[in-house]
Structure 1
Amino acid sequence: MLQSLIGSIIALLATTSLLLAIQVTETIIKGSIRFPLTKDELEIIKGSGRISEVDILNSNIKQFPQKL
């Protein structure tokens, strides 16, 4: 009886942890979808010789959906 209670508590904690991790991940992804390119990212693009594609990248970022 005690073992089944402990097992149920462990299963409950594992499920709660999983749901919390999913919720935190979704919140982080939603918040990071539409940010423009940072200075570091722009420097990487310039270093690769693809500076002409920066405007295309920024317009694509603005077109991303806000909801997943």
Structure 2
Amino acid sequence: MQYRTVTDMRGKEVVIPSEPQKIVAISRSLIDTTMYTFGVEDRIVGGSVYDKPLQTGQYVWKGTDYTVNT
């Protein structure tokens, strides 16, 4: 397995697999929207939960309709 080093939001370097197979999205909307955009949403295996009511947004990417809860 190959790895790469990335810098997280705190400025800390973190080593991760080059091709992650499972992702837990701890920030709603940005991460899952980006993963839908790149067609790898099936790798999301968990996520955080907000107490706030969900708002639904819709967009089209390459002719496919998507709905994102933010």
TM range (shorter): under 0.3
**Which of structures 1 and 2 has the bigger CA Rg?**
1
User: What is the TM-score normalised by the length of structure 1?
Assistant: 0.20
Higher relative strand content? 2
Structure with higher RCO (Cα < 8 A, 6+ apart) = 1
